Amino acid sequence: MSLRSVFLSALVAGLSLWAGAASAGGPQLELPRTKLTADMYQIDVQLATTPAQQEYGLMFRKQMPQQEGMLFVFDTPSTQCFWMKNTLLPLTAAFIADDGTIVNLADMAPQTTNPHCSAKPVRFVLEMNQGWFAKRSIKAGFRLGGRPFQAH
């Protein structure tokens, strides 16, 4: 088998696996992870970096530990808008500037298509269980730490 054939077979298998999870209504749980900090709190986040991962997001998750979330990483700053189609958990989206500063927060109700947008162009959006930020008095202007925010 040629290298090209092996690559194409792997690509097809990967796409089939992703399509199978999507069609079966299963959550995406195997994304790369990193750690973020919010003062003394550590957040374990999955990284959604591709358009397919970002579109699927936290859909079909029935539960998520309080210290976990999903960080959406976009190539360039722009107005980011999120909705909750097929998302079963109430979430809060933190729209985050390149330096880790939270621009604005939006509470989002499960299984709705109402848009929730960043107040200005951002590259990062962190989704956490609803109430996580409020319980820790984290608001717009608060600066998160972690590797994604150090690169810029």
Q: How buried is residue 87: exposed, middle or buried, by Cβ count under 10 Å (0-12/13-18/19+)?
A: buried
pTM of the predicted protein model: 0.83
Q: How far apart are CA 136 and CA 92, in angstroms?
A: 13
Listed by start position, the domains of the chain span: 27-150
Q: What is the pLDDT of residues 97-148, one digit of tens each?
A: 999 999 999 999 999 999 999 999 999 999 999 999 999 999 999 999 999 9
Beta bridge partners of 101: 143
In this prediction, residue 150 carries a pLDDT of 83
Question: What superfamily would CATH give domain 27-150?
Answer: Protein of unknown function DUF192 (2.60.120.1140)
Residue 145 CB: number of other CB atoms within 10 A? 15
Element (H, E) at 22: helix 3-24
Question: Is residue 66 within 8 Å of residue 129, measured between CB atoms?
Answer: yes
Q: How is residue 24 written in tokens?
A: 């079966």
Residue 92 CB: number of other CB atoms within 10 A? 20
Q: What is the pLDDT of residues 30-69, one digit of tens each?
A: 999 999 999 999 999 999 999 999 999 999 999 999 999 9
